[in-house]
Amino acid sequence: MQISELQMLVTLAEEMNMRKAAERLFVSQPALSQRLQSIEKSWGFKIFLRSQKGLTLTPAGEKVIQFAKEMVAKEEKLREEISQMEGEVYGTLKLAVASIIGQHWLPKVLKDYVQLYPQVKISLITGWSSEMLKCMYEEDIHIGIIRGNPEWKGIKQHLLSDTLYLVDTEINKLEDLIHTERPFIQFKSDSTYYQEIQDWWHRQFKVFPKRTIVVDQIETCKQMAFNGIGFAILPSVTLLDHDHHIFKIPLLDENGNAIKRDTWLLGTEASFQLKHVQGFLHVVKKHSGEF
């Protein structure tokens, strides 16, 4: 099989849906289905089973997909090595980024990056920092951008710090929280972030909020606070475009200093030697002073 066919199989395995895979590959669904049938005919067995719910890998298909992933990874690595010799910048930049950074900071960085290096592909996964750190240990990731203070044996560079704020449309001083009936809107997050908020609250008030609302995404939490449903505690990285009618009260530690959330950039000596990774680091340096 050609590399393009292997890449097609990998995309199908990632999406497990013909329509979504066709969209990613910029081909029509019938054309994709025909190419898959041709590949399966050449192998002599089904790789995927089709149903209304999507695709399912056959046992033989699982082995083919594993083979396809290995070949695609080897092809990308070979291109990267050749690019180092020839001076061109291309390959696939593999990033694992904390969701908050991926939503609010990374897009501007990637916009500049793709303009400077149009030949480079970008593979991006986002999620909780603990999940992204796990990916750094278990997968072939070039750069990780992680919140908190992750333990990492490779290269670890401080990227930025942002202040934690209590935000609300009505409450403009902490004393009001003692008697308020307004709910505390929280978003699900890493245990370290959650514990930091709990510790601050206990130091301030000794008792838990009277009412709470828990949502799964920080952006949902932010929009509910911005629309006056209750108050929330949010990092400043999410508040760059905040409305003027929102009150922002910085959280202070026991010494009166603003509580900040650190973000770190992780990598390895080997990944930092790649030209497309070096190009990303150059663009990141330009943006890292924004907070």
CA distances, 53 to each of 13, 17, 122 (Å): 14, 8, 29
d(CA 204, CA 164): 15
Local confidence band at 31 (pLDDT 50, 70, 90 cut-offs) = very high
**Stretch among 112-121, 153-162, 201-210 having the lowest mean pLDDT:** 201-210
When pLDDT is cut at 50, 70 and 90, the band that residue 85 belongs to is low
Nearest to 230 by CA among 214, 217, 241: 214
Summarised one tens digit per residue, pLDDT across range 175-191 is 888 888 999 999 888 76
Q: For the segment 255-287, what is each residue's pLDDT rounded down to a tens digit?
A: 899 999 899 999 999 899 888 999 999 999 888
Assign 3-state DSSP to the chain and report helix, strand, coil percentages, each to 5.
50, 25, 25
When pLDDT is averaged across residues 134-141 and rounded to a whole number, the result is 89
- Percent of the chain with pLDDT strictly greater than 70: 95
* pLDDT at residue 243, rounded to an integer: 64
Among the listed residues 13, 92, 128, the one whose alpha carbon sits nearest the alpha carbon of residue 279: 92
Place of tokens 């969701």: 99
Question: Vertex 10, ends 9 and 14: CA angle to 5°?
Answer: 115
Interatomic CA distance for residues 80 and 123, integer angstroms: 14
Residue 86: predicted pLDDT: 63
What pLDDT is stored for residue 165 in this prediction?
Answer: 94
Q: Count how many Cα atoms sit within 13 Å of the Cα of residue 208 in the half-sphere of its side chain.
A: 6
Distance between CA atoms of residues 159 and 138, nearest Å: 23
pLDDT at 290 over 50: no
What is the set of domains in the chain, with CATH numbers?
A: 1-88 (1.10.10.10), 161-261 (3.40.190.290)
pTM greater than 0.85 = no
Q: What pLDDT is attached to residue 147?
A: 92
Structure tokens at 65: 């997909």
pLDDT at 232: 95
Residue 139 has pLDDT above 90, yes or no: no
